[in-house]
Amino acid sequence: MTRCNHEKDCTDPFRVNSGDVLTKAELQHLRSLREKKHREAAGLFIVEGEKVVGELLNAGFTFNAIYATPEWTGDKTHEITREDMSRASHFPTPSSVLAVGRINHQPLPDTGLARGLTLALDRVQDPGNVGTLLRIADWFALDRVVLSPDCADLFSQKVINASRGSFARVTVHLTDLPSALSTVPPAVMVLGCDLVGEDVHTISPAKDAVIVIGSEGRGMSAAVKQRISQFITIPRYGNAESLNAGVAAAIVCDNLRRA
């Protein structure tokens, strides 16, 4: 069984049949997708590795093309040789499968961030943190994640790996964060995680709220801070300087989800 959007997507621009050798142009195209500018230009991204491809397939993600060597027993659209996989691979040690997906930028809903629980990331640049935050949003069944344009690229291999399949289950929007927050009604809490603020444990559970996580080193931008209705902090009982962004987000989400 193969999972492709439609026949044309499976064969264009990656036109190869089982046992054929990838052309130089096809190899260059696959390898170029490691860079964000080429991903955006082509509207495609690539992931490589048995674990990550399997996680996304199990989560129901539809790939445009799946290139695999004979060792890969899962879904595939093109079987290629180990030699070609080694040439196309983004890794020093090639895996048995790499897959190509289409980049899909989803617009915000008509209600903006006014309904449901939103995790908003402002300038979070570590790909591992962005992927972990997607997992947290998935764990707590948040309605959406919003990334500012200067966050780590959602479609990078490192972000997708760190999400452990949540990339395929969480609704993610890329948008200007101050503008999106400016439309949130006053009745909806916009919570900014900071070292100074109200104790997170005093927050009442909520069905509608926005949780804002800032940059690992610089915190929230000045424009985003202006849109925060309540700064919150996690009480510190020891001597650690700070918490990982994912840990902080999980604690806030847990408090909002209390019965």
| Residue 96, both tokens | 């048995």
* Burial per residue of 158-195, b for 16 or more beta-carbon CB atoms within 10 angstroms, e otherwise: ebbbbbbbbbbbbebbbbebbebbeebeeebbbbbbbe
What per-residue confidence (pLDDT) applies to 242? Answer: 84
Per run of 10 residues, the mean pLDDT along the chain (length 259 residues) is 40 48 91 96 97 96 96 93 93 94 94 96 96 98 97 97 96 97 96 93 95 91 97 94 91 92
Residue with tokens 């690992």: 216
Phi, psi torsion values for 196, nearest 5 degrees? -125, 125
Give pLDDT, residue 53: 97
pLDDT, position 19: 58
Q: Which two tokens stand for residue 138?
A: 């998935």
**How many residues comprise the chain?**
259
Q: What is the pLDDT of residue 15?
A: 44
pLDDT tens-place string over residues 6-60: 333 444 444 444 556 789 999 999 999 999 999 999 999 999 999 999 999 999 9
